[in-house]
């Protein structure tokens, strides 16, 4: 993947891809016991790039020290000072899990390079859940992912911005349900009914806030022999646990279709078994919200003719969930 010579909103990107400069920067950033790490070579690779927003760079390290030789780490660049907040959140999660001896697993946050706006993090072990295909592997992966998610939700930490359902509606459903209804009046009754039934869910009022990933899908989960590891915590906040679970269940349905039933059941069963109360207030609403969110994505990205049918289908799926009997 190629990057522009200069991105004014990500001014550190060109330096982050300069292997010679990163050799000294990484040596200083990855210090141990107040001493820089001795690196002999750094090879960079741009993995993801969203102009003006963020970039992800993989670094392959060579070192005379066994701990750092032939090691892969990742650097994620953010606009302005957002990376510093992300890094502080990641470190708090990591340290809380270590202190509590929690089973929650994530790659270690290594350092924040302020002059680049870059968060450095260790590579996630295991295989990406998105790359698994054998039914037995997938079912076992659901169990491990569910337990790791329950462990995240159970971490005793106050880190993260507190958010309620209305906040998620505003963030993830741009430009808003009203804009969808205005552009497609034939869908307005569906939109109004779905929004009204979600807001009427009384269980949201008794749902406690906890640490949530915010955008958990197949690409953010790595599976190991021991469990699961989560990455990409840009959407992290304190909110309802059902936000993560509902979104992931809908993701499974979208990705696996008719084959998703057993996987969804196995994931939810394992998650509930790993929680103290074995209940999940607001799950139906957050599943419906996941369908609304996907409807808004289709509305934004497709033309007026092509988007009508898929948007309608997603709205109907969400509404069917809200009107289904327990």
Q: Which helix (H) or strand (E) holds 223?
A: strand 221-223
Could you read off the pLDDT of 272-294 as tens digits, one per residue? 999 998 999 999 999 999 999 99
Other beta carbons less than 10 A from residue 43's beta carbon: 12
Token duo for residue 254:
């979208």
Contact, 230 vs 152, CB < 8 A? yes
pLDDT at 94 over 80: yes
Average pLDDT over residues 85-89: 96
pLDDT at 304 over 90: no
Tell me the C-alpha to C-alpha distance, in Å, between residue 154 and each of 62, 238, 241: 38, 11, 9
Residues 285, 291, 294, 298, CA torsion sign:
negative
pLDDT at 33 over 70: no
The residue assigned the tokens 């552009």 is 183
Q: What is the pTM of this model?
A: 0.94
Nearest of 151, 146, 164 to residue 238 by alpha carbon: 164
pLDDT at 32 over 80: no
Could you read off the pLDDT of 176-227 as tens digits, one per residue? 999 999 999 999 999 999 999 999 999 998 899 999 999 999 999 999 999 9
Domains along the sequence of the chain with CATH: 13-122 (3.30.200), 127-323 (3.90.1200.10)
Give the total residue count for the chain.
326
Residue 146: which pLDDT band, with cuts at 50, 70 and 90?
A: very high
| 107 Cβ contact list (under 8 Å, min separation 6) | 74, 121, 122, 123, 124, 229, 231
* Angular region, 10: left φ>0, alpha ψ -120 to 50, beta rest: beta
Mean pLDDT of the chain: 94
How confident is the model at residue 135, as a pLDDT? 87
Distance CA(127)–CA(108), nearest Å, equals: 17
How confident is the model at residue 31, as a pLDDT? 82
Contact, 53 vs 9, CB < 8 A? yes
Contact, 134 vs 127, CB < 8 A? no
Could you read off the pLDDT of 219-265 as tens digits, one per residue? 999 999 999 999 999 999 999 999 999 999 999 999 999 899 999 99
């Amino acid at each position: 993947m190629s990057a522009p010579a200069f991105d004014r909103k990500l001014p550190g990107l060109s330096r982050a891809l300069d292997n010679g400069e990163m050799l000294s920067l990484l040596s200083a950033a990855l210090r141990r016991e107040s001493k820089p790490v001795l690196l002999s070579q750094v090879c960079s690779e741009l993995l993801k790039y969203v102009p003006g927003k963020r970039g992800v760079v993989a670094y392959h390290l060579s070192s005379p020290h066994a701990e750092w030789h032939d090691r892969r780490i990742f650097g994620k660049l953010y606009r302005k000072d957002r990376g510093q907040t992300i890094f502080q959140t990641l470190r708090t999660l990591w340290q809380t899990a270590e202190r509590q001896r929690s089973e929650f697993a994530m790659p270690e946050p290594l350092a924040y390079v302020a002059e680049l706006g870059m968060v450095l993090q260790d590579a996630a072990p295991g295989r990406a859940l998105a790359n698994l295909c054998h039914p037995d592997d997938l079912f076992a992966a659901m169990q491990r992912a569910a337990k790791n998610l329950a462990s995240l939700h159970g971490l005793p930490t106050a880190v993260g911005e507190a958010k309620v359902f209305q906040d998620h509606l505003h963030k993830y459903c741009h430009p808003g349900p009203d804009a969808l209804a205005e552009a497609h009046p034939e869908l307005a009754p569906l939109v109004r009914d779905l929004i009204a039934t979600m807001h009427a869910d009384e269980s949201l009022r008794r749902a406690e806030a906890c640490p949530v990933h915010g955008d958990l899908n197949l690409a953010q989960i790595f599976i190991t022999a021991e469990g699961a590891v989560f990455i990409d915590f840009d959407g992290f906040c304190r909110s309802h646990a059902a936000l993560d679970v509902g979104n992931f269940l809908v993701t499974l349905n979208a990705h696996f279709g008719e084959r998703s039933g057993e996987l969804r059941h196995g994931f939810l069963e394992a998650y509930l078994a790993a929680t103290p109360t074995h209940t999940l207030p607001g799950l139906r609403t957050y599943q419906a919200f996941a369908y609304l969110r996907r409807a808004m994505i289709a509305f934004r990205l497709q033309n007026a003719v092509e988007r009508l049918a898929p948007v309608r289908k997603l709205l109907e799926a969400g509404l069917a969930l809200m009107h289904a009997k327990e």
